[in-house]
Amino acid sequence: MKHSVKDLDLIANTIRVDIIKMLEAAGSGHSAGPLGMADVFTALYFEVLNHRPQDPEWEDRDRLILSNGHIVPIRYATMAEAGYFPKEELLTLRKFGSRLQGHPERVRLPGMESTSGPLGSGLSQAAGIGLGLKLKGNTSSRVYVCMGDGELNEGNVWEAAMFASARKINNLTAIIDRNNIQIDGFTETVMPLEPLAMKWQAFGWHVIEVDGHNIEQIVAACLEAQAIFERPTVLIAHTIPGKGVDYMEREPVWHGMPPGLKDIPGDPPKDEQVKVALAELRTLRGKIRGEHE
Amino acid sequence: MSNYADHLSKQLFNDAIDHAPTRKGFGDGLILAGDLDKRVVALCADLTESTQMDGFAKKYPERYFEVGVAEQNLATVAAGLAAEGFIPFTSSYAAFSPGRNWEQIRTTACLNEQPVKIVGSHAGLSVGPDGATHQMLEDIALMRSLPHMTVIVPCDVIEARKATMEIAKTKLPAYLRLAREKTPVITTDDSPFEIGKAQVWREGSDITIIVAGPLAYEALKVCEILAEESIDVELINCPSIKPLDDITILTSTRKTRAVVTVEEAQINGGLGSAIAELLVEHDPVCMERIGVHDSFGQSGTMPELWNHYQLLAADIAAAARRVIKRSNQQT
């Protein structure tokens, strides 16, 4: 790996802090998903992806599609950390005139590979990109797509799952954020997905289950995918929604809400929510430093 | 027969006029577009032969992708290919694409500014016996409302071929509407076709008839019917519904002060609506819209259905007489 685990964990921690600040400034947006995916995005942008922040259209880059566009604060925060644009711009999230739209728009922000938000269409776009790369003879680039688990309710996802496997699009790696929540509640209550790994296997995919907060595991799984012939790979990344902020973790109520907006029984009062979240992340930072000493 | 543009078929009102379906023109045009530009690729949702994509598929198998009966996937895989610099043409029946996958087209092609070309075949009533489920009448309205989308409704096989080649050159999405049945070949290789341009097929002074699609031949017949009554029709073929040729249309209506629009689609949201919007903002004149009036289709042959839904020359002529009468009462 290019970085130490400690450094990567610290980067993920910084990104989580940025997400809290962005959401506070925006006054709207999703909290749980972006926090839960901080380790996956850190792994992607700082270890896995072959990319050039100063040259986002570089032909040989790896492509990353974000299918569940509502968690885009994590992508913005990670891109800024990686040097795509100044970190000050993060506080313009969701504001008039900002390049950081509430849901990502390709045309507004270099490095954003596709426009997304309405769920279920990222995997098929990634499959199209994978096909396109092969057709062009570009063997150095791979395409990655991040999806939510609630998003798997969409029929378009399974159309794409059939297609990518039938076409043997092996330069495609999908990463599912298996955090078990969606807007109306727990995924297994709203529309059960299990046995999820078996579903993907039955569709002809190579399936790897990983701890979505273990960056080493995520990187190793992405490397394993590169060695799979004739099949696309899906990583089922088990994550904790809201990871890093205790009162948000595993609570569906925090799926679609920013801190500081509403009083939630059992959670810190709304005026304290941001302060508590940042304090916890600061403590976590100390722990990361300590554990790796 | 007089006043008609020189470039139209020499057999215009002869029973021997050639007949061919507009979808065939797409099939021919796609191969030609593929010959000219290797970035052109094709995707189909299990209707390769009936949408006439089979010629391209045979000639360029490595650039053709079968996606199965999955129209959402059809549009979005195409968006992915477009992201890699390709120019994807997607085909299905219009009822399914853009009927089923409108949101995918909106987000991943239009908002995403990718040059995905949506080809909706068997549109209008031309799919006859299949009935209302397959008779797509709302596609023009669906596509016309989308920013960055071009909407083309060719009148015959030759215009469909040219339209296919032209939309292959644009950097943004486009919708091409095709019909199943054979209809008269009105235009020739010499006829002009340009996105955003309408063509005056016959110059006249009493009423403007504006048509898109194969009903153009019925509109031509109206010119002859009304000439017998000394009514001088200006006939405009308007394949480019978006962008609309404002100048040609307003120049004509300024002269005639009376308009009838003709299309094989719902009158709400289609060509007639586009013209009405233009006129009401710039130069309101008396107008009627020929089309399907807020109802669904049904099984039958295409001529039976055109007759039932009052889309034939006699119906257009009657509308023209009413509009002229109203217009005269106003002045």
Pick B86's closest partner by Cβ from A121, A127, A132. A132
Measured distance CA(B168)–CA(B165) in Å, rounded: 5
Establish if B107 touches chain A: CB-CB under 8 angstroms: yes
Q: Do B77 and A160 touch (CB under 8 A)?
A: yes
Burial class from Cβ neighbours inside 10 Å (0-12, 13-18, 19+) for residue B46 reads middle
Q: What is the mean pLDDT of chain B?
A: 97
Using CA coordinates, name the residue in chain A closest to B68: A163
When pLDDT is cut at 50, 70 and 90, the band that residue B192 belongs to is very high
State mean pLDDT over B13-20.
Answer: 94
When pLDDT is cut at 50, 70 and 90, the band that residue B128 belongs to is confident
Using CA coordinates, name the residue in chain A closest to B85: A132
Measured between CA atoms, how close is A159 to chain B, in angstroms? 6
Let me know: does A238 contact A211? Beta carbons within 8 Å. yes
| Residues of chain A contacting residue B113, judged by C-beta atoms under 8 Å apart | 106-107
Query: Of residues B78 and B1, which shows the higher confidence score?
Result: B78
- Residue B96: predicted pLDDT: 98
CATH-assigned architecture of domain B199-330: 3-Layer(aba) Sandwich (3.40)
- Residue A277: predicted pLDDT: 96
pLDDT in tens, B36-67: 999 999 999 999 999 999 999 999 999 999 99
Measured distance CA(B172)–CA(B165) in Å, rounded: 14
Most B CBs within 10 Å, among A70, A107, A121, to test the B interface: A121
Most A CBs within 10 Å, among B84, B100, B104, to test the A interface: B84
Q: Do A163 and B67 touch (CB under 8 A)?
A: yes
The yes-or-no answer to whether B19-184 and B199-330 have a common fold is yes
Q: Do A126 and B80 touch (CB under 8 A)?
A: yes
Most B CBs within 10 Å, among A159, A168, A172, to test the B interface: A159
Pick B80's closest partner by Cβ from A105, A128, A155. A128
- Residue A265: predicted pLDDT: 93
Residue ranges in chain A whose pLDDT is less than 70: 293
Establish if A117 touches chain B: CB-CB under 8 angstroms: yes
Does the structural domain B19-184 have CATH classification 3.40.50.970?
A: yes
Establish if B147 touches chain A: CB-CB under 8 angstroms: no
pLDDT in tens, B107-120: 999 999 999 999 99
- Residue B3: predicted pLDDT: 83
Question: How many CB pairs lie under 8 A apart between chains A and B?
Answer: 100
Establish if A114 touches chain B: CB-CB under 8 angstroms: yes
Let me know: does B75 contact B97? Beta carbons within 8 Å. yes
Establish if A153 touches chain B: CB-CB under 8 angstroms: no
Measured distance CA(B33)–CA(B42) in Å, rounded: 11
- Residue A256: predicted pLDDT: 86
Which of A138, A150, A199 lies closest to A176 in space, CA to CA? A150
| Residues of chain B contacting residue A130, judged by C-beta atoms under 8 Å apart | 80
What does each C-alpha distance from A289 to A12, A78, A281 come to in angstroms?
13, 20, 12
Pick B84's closest partner by Cβ from A115, A136, A156. A136
Most B CBs within 10 Å, among A59, A62, A106, A114, to test the B interface: A114
Using CA coordinates, name the residue in chain B closest to A121: B76
Using CA coordinates, name the residue in chain A closest to B61: A135
Measured between CA atoms, how close is A89 to chain B, in angstroms? 22
State mean pLDDT over B175-183.
Answer: 97
Pair type for strands B199-202 and B233-237 = antiparallel
- Residue B1: predicted pLDDT: 57
3-state SS, chain B, equals CCCECCCCCCCCCCCCCCEEEHHHHHHHHHHHHHHHCCCEEEEECCCCCCCCCHHHHHHCHHHEEECCCCHHHHHHHHHHHHHCCCEEEEEEECCCCCCCCHHHHHHHHHHCCCCCEEEEECECCCCHHHCHHHCECCHHHHHHCCCCCEEECCCCHHHHHHHHHHHCCCCCCEEEECCCCEEECCCCCCCCCCCCCCEEEECCCCEEEEECCCCHHHHHHHHHHHHCCCCCEEEEECCEEECCCHHHHHHHHHHHCEEEEEEEEECCCCHHHHHHHHHHHHCCCEEEEEEECCCCCCCCCHHHHHHHCCCCHHHHHHHHHHHHHHHHHHC
Provide the percentage of residues in chain B whose pLDDT is more than 90: 97
Measured distance CA(B195)–CA(B167) in Å, rounded: 8
Q: Complex ipTM, two decimals? A: 0.94
Using CA coordinates, name the residue in chain B closest to A136: B84
pLDDT in tens, B246-304: 999 999 999 999 999 999 999 999 999 999 999 999 999 999 999 999 999 999 999 99
- Residue A231: predicted pLDDT: 97
Look at the domain A5-292 and name its fold. Rossmann fold (3.40.50)
| Per-domain residue ranges of chain B | 19-184, 199-330
- Residue A255: predicted pLDDT: 86
Establish if B92 touches chain A: CB-CB under 8 angstroms: no
